[in-house]
Chain A
Amino acid sequence: MDEATLVEWRVKPGDRVERGDIVAAIETSKGVIDIESFDSGIVDALLIEPGVKIPVGTALARIRSDAPGTPAHSTPPAAPAPAPPAPATPPSPAGAAGREGRVRASPAARRHAAELGVDLARLHGTGPHGVITIEDVARAAPPARSTAPPPDMRATIAAAMTRAKREIPHYYLATGVDLHKATLWLAEYNRERPVTGRVLMGLLFVRAVAKALTGFADFNGFYKDGAFVPGPGIHVGVAVALRGGGLVAPALHDADGNTLDAQRPAFQDLVTRARSGHLRASEMADATITVTSLGERGVDTVFPVIHPPQVAIVGFGRVAQKPVVTADGGIAAHPVVQVSLAADHRVSDGHRGGLFLAAIERWLQTPEQL
């Protein structure tokens, strides 16, 4: 990325900002990302107008630091990874807004109409007593905008994957992991919790990989200038498919640390923001390995492509009932997932990769320690 366009300011002169606060949104060739302040202080001046195209490294604003006399600059990131497509610009509220008294519509239908720019006054309600329902609004809405990812995002994925396949000598391993114990444990864990406190199997996968990495540093980091550089922490990129196509893999920072309970909201929030286009620059650039999980409706096994300059990616297929030989020699139907690894042969060998997958399996067999 060489340049970006400032989309909007989220702060104004005189505002107090803390380090890490979102101060602006910029549009890059990879979509819109949120920019965090690198410093704490008072916003002194905004130096760039929205809509202006700026080269990377340009100072966007002047922040008066808490330590007097040390001005700090907030700048676009040097190299964000692929970002999601720009969120839709909300259309202006519907014309019905001024005539609400005469239009009978459900509150949900009103909100929906405002979002879609539908004029309620022109609709015929099919609800009780002619009330306009949300479905009436949906029928009247203009055709959904194209959900294809922006062409730039396709080009970014193409460039990264072409580089991966051209430069990285991948090797691939896969193994089936019996999730009988993990599934029972998770059901028990979630049973007493309200919906806001429940953990998804996908987070157990991410944590199992992160915990296993503590003994396998050669899968966590980057291949740069002909040598392996270990990652500064275990920041697991969580691959999130975007509904219209394309994907992003923002980092869940320090995925091996903290507790499952503490990490649950961060995981939920990260994936939700990935899909709504509100990732932070630090999340786009920091991943030291990637985990891709194709979900319940996918396939048994994924053969993933490494995201350069990372050196490994772990894939999880769907969890499916399979016949398993149990400890007593019988056969039972258990939930099984195919865990696969694609790793960089310049950094590790198949033997190491096999041990790494076995470590991931061991963690999944002791879910209570995740």
Chain B
Amino acid sequence: MPPQESIRDIVLDALAGIAPEAAGAPLDGARNLREQLDIDSVDFLNLLMTLHERLGVDIPEADYAQLQTLDDAVAYLERRRAAPARS
């Protein structure tokens, strides 16, 4: 992964793939993602699959609550990349 591509960029890129019609509007990092982008459970699973593919981080179902906003998701993924997998 090129160093200048931050986790935030990767998440935004993945979101743009899932909700392309919302890609033009800036996101509020502290607001619930599902509400902002009208993401349903299938979209959310697609998002996690893309993140898994791009970052190699597998997100257990029990952790879904920690990915409700863009800011939370970035913080969570940074933590997980720094200290990989319990399980």
Contact = CB atoms under 8 A, between A and B. Distances in A.
Interface of A: 88, 104, 106-109, 111-112, 115-116, 127-128, 131, 133-135, 138-139, 141-145, 147, 187, 190-191, 194-196, 198, 200-202, 241, 243-244, 268, 271-272, 275-276, 295-297
A275 B17 CA distance: 11
A196 B48 CA distance: 8
Given A112-B16, A243-B19, A139 B26 contact: yes
Contact of B24 (A133, A141, A244, A275): A141
A116 B4 contact: no
B23 A144 contact: yes
B2 A195 contact: no
Interface string B8-33: 11101100100111111111000000
Interface of B: 2, 4-6, 8-10, 12-13, 16, 19-27, 34-35, 37-38, 40-43, 45-46, 48-49, 52, 58-62
A134 B8 CA distance: 9
A84 B73 CA distance: 30
A88 B20 contact: yes
A187 B19 CA distance: 27
B41 A201 contact: yes
Contacts of A115: 16, 20, 23
Nearest to A194: B58
B20 to A, nearest CB: 7
Contact of A134 (B9, B20, B35, B42): B9
Contacts of B41: 200-202, 295-296
Given A108-B12, A128-B4, A138 B26 contact: yes
Most chain B CB within a 10 A radius of its CB, from A104, A111, A142: A111
B9 A138 contact: no
Where chain B touches its partner, the secondary structure class is: helix
Given A147-B22, A297-B35, 8 more contacts: A106-B4, A106-B5, A108-B5, A108-B10, A133-B9, A135-B26, A191-B60, A198-B61
Given A106-B9, A131-B4, A194-B52, A200 B20 contact: no
A129 to B, nearest CB: 8
A195 B64 CA distance: 11
A190 B48 CA distance: 14
Contact of A271 (B8, B38, B42, B62): B42
Contacts of B35: 297
B35 to A, nearest CB: 7
Contacts of B40: 241, 271, 295
A214 B68 CA distance: 39
A187 B16 contact: no
A195 B42 contact: no
A268 B26 contact: no
Given A190-B61, A297-B35, A198 B45 contact: yes
16 contacts: A108-B10, A108-B13, A112-B13, A116-B23, A134-B8, A134-B9, A190-B61, A195-B45, A195-B52, A195-B58, A196-B49, A198-B61, A243-B19, A244-B21, A297-B34, A297-B35
